[in-house]
Amino acid sequence: MNYSNWRSRLQNSAYVTNAILAVTILVFLLETFSGGSTNNSVLVFYGARLNPLILYGQWWRLMTPVFVHIGLMHILVNGFSLYYLGQMTEQLFGHWRFFLLYFISGFAGNVASFAFSPNTLAAGASTAIFGLLGACLMLGDSFKENPVIRQLARQFLLLVGLNLLFNLFSSGIDIFGHIGGLLGGFLAAGMLGAPALGRMGTPRRIASAVTLLFGLGALLFLGFNAG
């Protein structure tokens, strides 16, 4: 295979999704061999969100929880969700936009969790995964004239509704992190745009960026003052 063919195949693959998934699985294996993925001290060591440590200055815990998972079922559900949604979302947004979208969503979800769930130890990629769902909802709103995107957005809207309803009646699930990731993904997608689908107006992109930054700032203020 010559270089041009190899490069073309790489560009057409969801290599960012695959890389994130590989790191996530590696972290889970490290958790498992370090004492177990349900051991609180192990979870904290590998970067789970714990508000007292964030207040102490460990800001990275607003991002690292996306790589940490609690138990086998947790990593399986989030791993398959990331693979399925990531493959599609990376194709729609492009590689570097998908990278930013994923981690902005994860950060937004963890910031919301930091502000509204101060007494819980939290981890998981679901904040970022809900952000991918939010990004697809943004596409449905911005590209209504595209029947495929419109139908896709409707399906994901139903999926979001069912998941949030399930969150309300389930213990141990941080609904604030999921809602924060969902809204963060929606706004981040509006800010980044999706050139593969069409041009988005500059005013909307600016408004999305301002709203996202203001929202994150307000949640951080709330979290640090509540602590």
122: which strand partners?
49
> pLDDT over 70 for what percent of the chain?
93
Angstrom distance (rounded) from CA 34 to CA 50: 19
Q: What is the DSSP letter of 121?
A: -
Query: What is the structure's pLDDT at 6?
Result: 47
Selected catalytic residue, list 81, 113, 178, 208:
178
Query: What is the structure's pLDDT at 121?
Result: 93
Q: Each residue of 94-119: pLDDT tens digit? A: 999 999 999 999 999 999 999 998 88
**What does the block give as tokens for 8?**
């073309």
Residue 11: pLDDT above 80? no
**What does the block give as tokens for 36?**
């177990």
198 or 5: which leads in pLDDT: 198
Q: Each residue of 16-65: pLDDT tens digit? A: 999 999 999 999 999 999 999 999 999 999 999 999 999 999 999 999 99
Q: Is 142 a catalytic residue?
A: no
State the CB neighbour count (10 A cutoff) for residue 170. Answer: 9
**What does the block give as tokens for 120?**
């819980």
Question: Quick check: 78 and 124 in contact, CB under 8 A?
Answer: yes
**Cut 0.75: pTM above it:** yes
From the list 62, 96, 75, the residue with the least C-alpha distance to 24 is 75
Residue 200: pLDDT above 60? yes
Selected catalytic residue, list 105, 126, 142, 208:
126
Name the residue type at position 47.
G
**What does the block give as tokens for 48?**
């789970």
Domains of the chain: 3-226 (1.20.1540.10)
Least confident of 15-29, 83-97, 141-155, 181-195: 141-155
> Given pLDDT bands bounded at 50, 70 and 90, which one contains residue 9?
low
User: Looking up tokens 């815990």, which residue turns up?
Assistant: 61
Query: What is the structure's pLDDT at 2?
Result: 56
30 or 11: which leads in pLDDT: 30
Q: Is 34 a catalytic residue?
A: no
Q: What is the DSSP letter of 187?
A: H
